[in-house]
Structure 1
Amino acid sequence: MNSHWLPGNRITLLENGEGYYPRVFEAISQAKEEVLLETFILFDDKVGRQLHRALLSAAANGATVHVLIDGWGSPDLPPSFTQPLLDAGVRLRAFEPVRRLFGARVNLLRRMHHKIVVVDGQHAFVGGINYSIDHIAEFGPQAKQDYAVEVEGPLVGQIQAFCRANVEAPQPSRRAWVQRWRNMRDRAEEEREVEDGAVAAFVTRDNHLHRSDIERHYRAAIRSARHRILIANAYFFPGYRLLRDLRRAARRGVQVDLVMQGQPDMVWVMRATELLYRHLIRAGVRVHQYCERPLHAKVAVIDDRWATVGSSNLDPTSLSLNLEANVIVRDEAFARHLRERIEQLMTSHCKLVERPVPGKLRSAWIGVRSFVVFHALRRFPVWMQRLTAPPPRVVPMGDEPT
């Protein structure tokens, strides 16, 4: 796994845009040396313009500012937004610029799904929150429920090394990937002096050497669970092995709670997830649907000692195609706090999914349908990898500063 556990970190949970944006914008605007920002979505709206001002402030302070956006997720940034950044010296790049066919975006697969910020090597932000107004409550009933963390301590150096490698070699060879993680390891060793604080790891998923690292961390934690597994995940359709681990945990007496979308932003995603409900509930897993607004979370807590917050869903695209990044924390205080926040959602805004009791014929049909859809969706990334042979590109946006 591409992770190095480091002690001595301060990990702060940030909930929704209301908790995240003020903190990250303040840190960016006060940067003196360097800002590294990677995001799936950046829109030219109220939130995007606040980020825009913070980036310009950092550049005015003399900081080197690198911004990497995903071309599919952020397809429509106008020159009025990008040119002032370029004029200020911001290095602005796009991961696989959007391609359109009859006006529709067609290059959906293998996205750069990170939401990472590193400021002056002192503060790092990792999570699932993009830069768009639909992450704050004023957006209305479709405002997303989501989480991120602010990291201070030795782990920041590891995250910084990762982002710098993306700037220096956006399409690294296998040798370059090995060197990247050696650099991260060396930086981590240099930062090991502080022992107090949370033990944490920065874990990523890519299409080179680390195709299954996030999933493997989840599975290892689930298999070791003794009392409680609590997962809140927006797009839940994991592989057979992770589902098997959850069912086995429930059968050995672990309380397993899954918080899924009940008010989805994409209805078809919820319908696919519902195919798994009967299979999970029969094993003793409790499934809760969050119904206040769209759930965008990618978080989990196990036994109040292991927790993760990041960008990775538990679905075929996140686990098999996209570039993802999570922070994993071994700290009772943080894990307990995150658990309490998720349980507050469960108590106030979730409904427990009851096990359906269909007739024998309908039960057989549901079983056949679930089997076919499950295995088709699980093989979908493999098929798409073969169909999307050209490697993704990272290209400058506009005329970069020299």
Structure 2
Amino acid sequence: MGVNHWRRKVRPRRAVFPRTAPVELPVGDSGTRVTVYTYGEDLFEDMLAAIRGAWHRVLFESYIVKDDQVGQRFKEALIEAAERGVEVYVVYDGFANLVVPRSFFRFPPSVHVLRYPVFRPGVLLLNIRKSGRDHRKILTVDGEVGFSGGYNVGSLYATNWRDTHLRLAGPAVWELENAFVDFWNRHRLPELDRLGEAAWDSHLRLHRNVPELLIYPIRAVFLEAIDRAKERVLFTQAYFLPDQELQRALIDAAGRGADVNVLVPEESNHVIVDQISRSQYSALLRGGVRLWLYQDAMVHAKTATVDGQWSTVGTTNVDRLSLTGNYEINIEIFDKGVARHLEEVFANDLANCRELTEEEWDNRPLLSRFGELVLAPWRPLL
């Protein structure tokens, strides 16, 4: 960690990396449209515009909200919406925002706020239903537009991090609203009323990990998709620590002849996670999985596509904390147009990557091998 701190001081990351402009795409024939964002400034401007245009209800949930210029703009927009009569509900994670002054999250009474607690009763008794952080990111406005994906709210994420987020417009927004309402009603009184009517859409589904109910469907979604792969698998992940079943699924897909690619940051914002993740590189590389290391910037996206037909974008990292620990949310899309665009995003990101070869990895320094060996036993905890 000391080395990591030193690196950040002497080698600050540049804020220039390949960008893909936002593109709106139709999904199926239900009337839902999806916009893909890969740059924070573009996303935040559209999120703020949606809040400012709200006339009935705003539901806002974020893992991290920084007390900086961007965070203040969001806070002001939410308060202004409440002052003009809009119902405004805000959820944030207490633990993730310990470094943010509590005063920043003081809103007028017209804004309803839920702070997901740092510790819940039962955690110390190892009750896993009371574990997990609220790692979700949701914004819905008037039941007409909704946003979800990897972006937290803050100036750093606006320009310096590469992430992926979706904007939904149309019937599928109900899925995001319903997810927010379920979480709110489980943790806060008075309860929120159910919003709108459910709409079935075979092209788009929303999956939620809910520790309170021991429900973790997102891991199964990944496994099912990889198991069907015939041509190509493209994963972009901030923190990549697959369990044995996910690792085996990727290797098996490569063994069937699929082109399996995983894109991760060469140096993420969590140096310990990097070291633990690297302990799996040998098995992946020997199994035919191609590893791409994103250069000079933090890639925080959580996306995957398979065979140009299936895609998912969400908040879930491929690690134990996300897959079987936190409250998470992922949007699963069966649409060739969306998959094709996400493949284009992946190709654009490769311009800022270098491929890690098996030969290079086998010749890594002894100190790196030692670090991986020491930290590998901690992998099940992360």
TM bin, normalised by shorter chain, reads 0.7 to 0.9
* 8 Å Cα contact 1:30-1:57 kept in structure 2: no
* 8 Å Cα contact 1:7-1:200 kept in structure 2: no
1:84-139: per-residue Cα shift (whole Å, max 9, x none)? x324x00112101479xxxxxxxxx62100011111111111101011111122xx
Which residue number in structure 2 is paired with residue 103 of structure 1? none
Which residue number in structure 1 is paired with residue 133 of structure 2? 111
Amino acid at match of 1:165: D
Give the CA deviation at 1:58.
1.4
Q: 1:29 to 1:171 in 2, by over 3 A?
A: closer
Structure 2 segments unaligned to the other structure (5+ residues): 1-27, 121-130
* Correspondence for 2:209 among 205, 208, 229: 205
The alignment of Structure 1 onto Structure 2 pairs a total of residues equal to 341
Give the CA deviation at 1:78.
4.0
Instruction: Provide the rounded CA distance (Å) in 1 between the counterparts of 2:360 and 2:237.
Output: 26
Moved more, 70-79 or 319-328: 70-79
Instruction: Provide the rounded CA distance (Å) in 2 between the counterparts of 1:91 and 1:358.
Output: 51
Give the CA deviation at 1:60.
2.4
Which residue number in structure 2 is paired with residue 230 of structure 1? 234
Instruction: Provide the rounded CA distance (Å) in 1 between the counterparts of 2:94 and 2:362.
Output: 48
Which residue number in structure 2 is paired with residue 128 of structure 1? 150
Structure 1 segments unaligned to the other structure (5+ residues): 100-108, 138-142, 382-402
Instruction: Provide the rounded CA distance (Å) in 2 between the counterparts of 1:82 and 1:130.
Output: 15
Which residue number in structure 2 is paired with residue 258 of structure 1? 262
Give 1:316-327 correspondences, 5 Å limit: 316-327=320-331
* 8 Å Cα contact 2:230-2:258 kept in structure 1: yes
Instruction: Provide the rounded CA distance (Å) in 2 between the counterparts of 1:293 and 1:27.
Output: 29
Give 1:213-292 correspondences, 5 Å limit: 213-292=217-296
Instruction: Provide the rounded CA distance (Å) in 1 between the counterparts of 2:48 and 2:56.
Output: 15
Give the CA deviation at 1:167.
2.0
Which residue number in structure 2 is paired with residue 158 of structure 1? 175
* Correspondence for 2:72 among 23, 26, 49: 49
Q: Does 1:187 align with 2:197?
A: yes
Which residue number in structure 2 is paired with residue 81 of structure 1? 104
* Correspondence for 1:313 among 312, 317, 320: 317
Q: 1:71 to 1:8 in 2, by over 3 A?
A: same
Give the CA deviation at 1:305.
0.8
Instruction: Provide the rounded CA distance (Å) in 2 between the counterparts of 1:44 and 1:359.
Output: 44
1:246-267: per-residue Cα shift (whole Å, max 9, x none)? 0000011000000011132122
Amino acid at match of 2:57: E
Q: 1:62 to 1:271 in 2, by over 3 A?
A: same
Identity %: 29
Q: 1:219 to 1:359 in 2, by over 3 A?
A: closer
* 8 Å Cα contact 2:275-2:375 kept in structure 1: no
Which residue number in structure 2 is paired with residue 392 of structure 1? none
Q: 1:171 to 1:272 in 2, by over 3 A?
A: farther
Q: 1:98 to 1:294 in 2, by over 3 A?
A: farther
Which residue number in structure 1 is paired with residue 34 of structure 2? 11
Instruction: Provide the rounded CA distance (Å) in 1 between the counterparts of 2:331 and 2:361.
Output: 41
* 8 Å Cα contact 2:44-2:158 kept in structure 1: no
* 8 Å Cα contact 1:14-1:147 kept in structure 2: yes
Moved more, 238-247 or 208-217: 208-217
Runs in 1 of length 4+ with deviation above 6 angstroms? 357-360
Which residue number in structure 1 is paired with residue 379 of structure 2? 377
RMSD: 3.0
Instruction: Provide the rounded CA distance (Å) in 2 between the counterparts of 1:79 and 1:358.
Output: 45
Instruction: Provide the rounded CA distance (Å) in 2 between the counterparts of 1:295 and 1:277.
Output: 18
Instruction: Provide the rounded CA distance (Å) in 2 between the counterparts of 1:341 and 1:228.
Output: 15
Give the CA deviation at 1:14.
1.2
TM-score of the two chains, using structure 2 as the length reference: 0.81
Give the CA deviation at 1:47.
0.7
Q: 1:275 to 1:30 in 2, by over 3 A?
A: same
